[in-house]
Amino acid sequence: MNQEKIGEFIKKLRQDNNLTQKDLAKKYNVTYQAVSKWERGLNIPDISLLKQMSEDFNISIEELLSGEATEIKPPQTKRKKIHIIGLAIDIVALLTLIVMLLLQHNSTYHFRKITSPSNDFNITGSIAYDDKKTSIYISNIEYTGTEEEKSYKQIECSIYQKLTDYELNLGSKTYNIDTPTTLTNIINEISFNLEKLENNNKSFSSDSFYLLISVTDTNGKEIIFKVPLFLSKVHN
């Protein structure tokens, strides 16, 4: 899966429909920084957004993931009826997405959408897993809490899974900022993916994970946020 090619395709779709990055961000309830990361190939929209974008721009999910349209079609204003053939195509496209994301075959895959019930953070993403492997994609993190007049130089993100007897750190990523900036700006630039992790559970509850965010200001003071993540089913 070529993320740069997908990003260029999303950019072309946006421009062909006379939309700015802020317009597209508002349409899909994400930040314009998230749209910028899509178009630069740093990340891709989560699963539920890919489905919505395919409908809005009248293209298939397969075309979105390949980074090119097989046929240029004008966007539809609204679908009044869902035909059986169209539904079958969507199902095939979703199965193709599963294979491309996990790069595996002959397994039973499960998808969940990731959000957060936190008042201070707006988080979107997705998780894909089978009996052996788990992949987690955090496509957008937005800080919505109270902003202090400080500049921050470093941020570290870690995803934890809550098991029966302990909490497991699945992976961490540290970002060092060349030009210190506000908490809102530093967090909005983050995307965080963990792919093909060894699976510790064959299923997950809605509150199986949380995101630990540690930010360090220019004086060396550290602030830690423990952000709960909520898993919900992806509806076709």
Domain boundaries, the chain: 3-102, 110-233
Residue 182 has pLDDT above 80, yes or no: yes
CATH of 110-233, one of 1.20.120, 1.10.10, 3.40.50, 2.60.40: 2.60.40
Of all helices (H) and strands (E), which one includes residue 123? strand 121-129
Residue 8 has pLDDT above 80, yes or no: yes
More confident residue, 132 or 21: 21
In whole numbers, what is the pLDDT of the chain averaged over residues?
78
Tell which residue, 93, 79, 78, 75, has the closest CA to residue 14: 75
For the chain, percent of residues with pLDDT exceeding 90 = 22
Please report the pLDDT score of residue 93 as a whole number: 45
Architecture of domain 3-102: Orthogonal Bundle (1.10)
Please report the pLDDT score of residue 150 as a whole number: 87
Find the mean pLDDT for residues 182-209: 78
Q: Which residues of 83-93 are buried (b: 16+ CB within 10 A; e: fewer)?
A: eeeeeeebeeb
Strand pairing category for 222-233 and 167-181: unpaired
Contacts of 180 (CB under 8 A, 6+ apart): 151, 152, 153, 217, 218
Tokens linked to 141: 């993190």
Q: What pLDDT digit, counting tens, does each position of 51-106 carry?
A: 788 889 988 877 887 788 765 445 444 444 334 444 444 444 444 455 455 444 44
Please report the pLDDT score of residue 202 as a whole number: 60
Tell which residue, 215, 206, 165, has the closest CA to residue 186: 215
Please report the pLDDT score of residue 101 as a whole number: 52
**Sheet hosting strand 192-198, strand order edge to edge:** 167-181, 152-162, 209-217, 222-233, 110-115, 121-129, 133-143, 192-198
Q: How confident is the model at residue 209 (pLDDT cuts 50, 70, 90)?
A: very high
Please report the pLDDT score of residue 71 as a whole number: 56
Please report the pLDDT score of residue 106 as a whole number: 41
Residue 229 has pLDDT above 90, yes or no: yes
Please report the pLDDT score of residue 169 as a whole number: 92
Please report the pLDDT score of residue 109 as a whole number: 63
Please report the pLDDT score of residue 80 as a whole number: 41
Q: How far apart are CA 213 and CA 92, in angstroms?
A: 37
Residue 1 has pLDDT above 50, yes or no: yes
Tokens linked to 145: 């809490």
Find the mean pLDDT for residues 127-148: 81
C-alpha pair distances (Å), 177 with each of 140, 146, 183, 188: 18, 21, 11, 13
More confident residue, 192 or 225: 225
Residue 29 has pLDDT above 90, yes or no: no
Please report the pLDDT score of residue 195 as a whole number: 73
Find the mean pLDDT for residues 26-42: 86
Contacts of 12 (CB under 8 A, 6+ apart): none
Find the mean pLDDT for residues 111-140: 83
Is the full-model pTM beyond 0.85?
Answer: no
The angle, 0 to 180 degrees and rounded to 10, between the axes of the packed helices 3-16 and 32-39 is 120
Residue 33, Cβ density class (10 Å: 0-12 exposed, 13-18 middle, ≥19 buried): buried
